[in-house]
Amino acid sequence: MKGVVNVNDIKAIISERIKQRLKQLNLKQKDLVEQTGQSKSTINKIVNGTVTPRVDLLIPISRVLDVSIDWLVANEKEVEHGGKMEEEIINMLRQVDEKKKVRIYFIILYILVLLNDKKK
């Protein structure tokens, strides 16, 4: 699929963004461990780009770093995508079986609720 980022790109983007933000906030990985409640090993793997964090881990990380989840995972090219992003999402969903679509639906709802709560 044209324009879709692969998993290794996402891991690298998240890793670099977390490192960048930790530096800006003068925080260390141990601060991220303490404030997210995640293990040192888990945070280390995310920060070093060896694993892609699950959504439920991105949420506390984004809160500690005071950034949005989309900032953590999107590179500038994706942000510039604009109108094509919606089309790509629909195309990706068409390739997923119905059971997974239900899971994706509830994940999206959960994220939207979190984003709306953050605005308040």
- Percent pLDDT > 90 in the chain is 39
- Does position 1 have pLDDT exceeding 60, yes or no? no
3-state DSSP call for residue 64? Answer: helix
> What is the rounded end-to-end Cα distance, in angstroms, of the chain?
37
- Does position 5 have pLDDT exceeding 60, yes or no? no
- Tokens 């679509």 identify what position? 101
Do residues 82 and 19 make contact, with C-beta atoms less than 8 angstroms apart?
no
Residue range 43-75, pLDDT digits in tens:
999 999 999 888 889 999 999 999 888 888 876
Q: At what angle do helices 29-36 and 55-65 cross, to 10 degrees?
A: 120
pTM of the model: 0.62
Q: What is the CATH number of domain 7-119?
A: 1.10.260.40
Q: Which has more pLDDT, 118 or 1?
A: 118
Question: Which uninterrupted H or E stretch holds 7?
Answer: helix 7-24
